[in-house]
Amino acid sequence: MKRFLLLGLIPFLTFAQNIEELNQKIKAGEIENVRSLLPSLIAKNPDNPELLYLSGLVETDGEKALLTYRDVISRFSNSSVADDAFLKIVEYLFTKGLYAKTDKYARELIKTYPRSNLIDKAIYLHLCSLNAMHQRDSVDYYYRYYSTRYPGMDFHFENYRSATKLTLADISQSQTAAKPPTSVSTSAPKQAEVKKPAGDYMLQMGVFGNLNNAHSLKKKLERLGHTVTLRKVDRSGRTLTSVLIGSYLTVSEARRVGDNLKKTQNLDFVVVKN
């Protein structure tokens, strides 16, 4: 009997290993590879929430990804990835500037999954959405409330940081790099600077013959929180302006930022050497 039980576990273990391998490929930036593998896996396992969630992660259309995450929550609310899908919705709404909806979904996530290990991120986005709507009395109230409810938890919210300039990259950095205040300051909004080591790669977001178009894209990217560099390039006797962002240590790191911009802002990019 024990032998049959062990044999029965083999397919389960193999499937779990496949899920982990897909996760590792996504982390390594192998998005296209994962995207090509998922349809056949989902066809064989149509009711697996983890595969459904991964399909949302690799979807390039933000609205379609949003529907996928909602499907995960609706059909598999008790699954291990339900809170992850919930947070993805909150992040998407926030980057779209839909702060009232961000506030609603963040509070719902916190209420539905109070023991999730993503609570700190949900609280952070909840505070930022209130801040973006200039509801500072509410920011103060909820900051104190969550500090009491989750004593010792780091929410990473600092000094009414200007939420309208945050991107998903900023959100990720804030979870690992930002230092929270001992109390919420009433000073004016301040954009925190996160110093990163210089890398060998940049993202080229466009090349323009019209300088005004280059400056227009530069302003948009700066509003999204990116450091923008304009460079003159000569092509076939014409002087053009290249719009570049960031400084990344690896191609994978650069591509992850580019994929996010493509997904949330519909902006094309090319990874180039610095």
Is 63 a domain residue? yes
134 and 236 together in one domain: no
> Which pLDDT band, with edges at 50, 70 and 90, does 12 fall under?
very low
Q: What is the mean pLDDT of residues 129-135?
A: 84
Cα 186 to Cα 71, 82, 140, 164: the distances in Å are 40, 36, 9, 18
Q: Which of 28-42, 52-66, 173-187 has the highest mean pLDDT?
A: 52-66
Q: Would you say residue 182 lies in a domain?
A: no
216 shares its domain with 153 = no
Strands laid side by side in the 201-208 sheet: 228-235, 238-248, 201-208, 270-273
Which sign, positive or negative, has the C-alpha torsion 122, 128, 132, 136? positive
Same domain, 153 and 207: no
What pLDDT sits at residue 14? 52
208/90 same-domain check: no
| Residue 266: inside a domain | yes
Structure confidence at residue 158 as a pLDDT band (50, 70, 90): low
| pTM for this model (two decimals) | 0.54
Do 147 and 16 fall into the same domain?
yes
pLDDT at 185 over 60: no
Q: Under 8 Å CB-to-CB from 195, ≥6 apart: which residues?
A: none
Q: Of 141, 176, 211, at which residue does a domain stop?
A: 176
Q: Which stretches does DSSP call E strand in 129-269?
A: 201-208, 228-235, 238-248
Residue 8: give the domain boundaries.
2-22+30-176
Q: How many domains does the chain have?
A: 2
Query: What's the CA gap between 162 and 131, in Å, rounded?
Result: 8
What share of the chain in percent tops pLDDT 70? 79
pLDDT score at 188: 37
Do residue 9 and residue 95 come from a single domain?
yes
Residues 170 and 50 in one domain: yes
* C-alpha to C-alpha distance for 250 and 125, rounded to whole angstroms: 28
Q: What are phi and psi of 179, to 5 degrees?
A: -110, 125
Q: Which of 139, 123, 115 is nearest to 87 (CA)?
A: 123
Same domain for 171 and 206, yes or no, is no
Q: Is 255 within the bounds of a domain?
A: yes
